[in-house]
Amino acid sequence: MQQVLEKMETSQQDVIAFLLDPQSYGYNNVPVTRIDTHISIVFLVGDRAYKMKRAVRFAYLDYSTIELRKASCEAEVSLNRRTAPMLYRDVVQVTRETDGSLRLGGGASLSSGSWKWRVSISRRCSTEWRWKDI
């Protein structure tokens, strides 16, 4: 398991580093907290959480391609919006722009292979719900 995660981490390292930088979200001095699971990495920043699907394949789950990760993110938002519309906001891509930089919500074409999909989740609602309370 650890070898699989280390291999994935190497292939997605530049995107992970980008998402750990508060400036990627338009903040300067707001901390970004990283939470790792076996299939995702969650980045907590400001009033949002961004969940990145790891590029992994298990007997019960396949996130090995960009297309599969995109479909999973879209299904997650669609399913969870029915019961938590104030939390599940949208699916956001990270793209590699023509100058080589990464951009959250960028405009690179899907055919470039540079899209990485994220689920954008609100961290708080009117009842002061917090991620850590789960």
What is the CA angle 75-91-122, rounded to 5?
100
CB 52 within 8 A of CB 43: yes
25/35 Cα distance (integer angstroms): 17
Q: How many C-beta atoms lie closer than 10 Å to residue 106's C-beta? A: 16
pTM: 0.76
Predicted pLDDT of residue 87: 86
Length of the chain: 134
Sign of the four-CA dihedral 93, 98, 102, 105: negative
Predicted pLDDT of residue 103: 87
- One-letter identity of residue 114: S
Predicted pLDDT of residue 123: 55
Predicted pLDDT of residue 111: 43
Q: In degrees rounded to 5, what are phi and psi of residue 112?
A: -70, -15
Helices (H) and strands (E) in the chain, counts: 3, 8
pLDDT tens for the chain, 134 residues long, are 555 544 555 578 888 999 999 999 999 989 999 999 999 999 999 888 889 999 899 999 999 888 898 888 889 889 988 998 888 888 888 888 888 888 888 765 544 444 455 666 665 443 344 444 44
Predicted pLDDT of residue 101: 87
List helix spans (H) across the chain.
Answer: 2-11, 13-19, 66-81
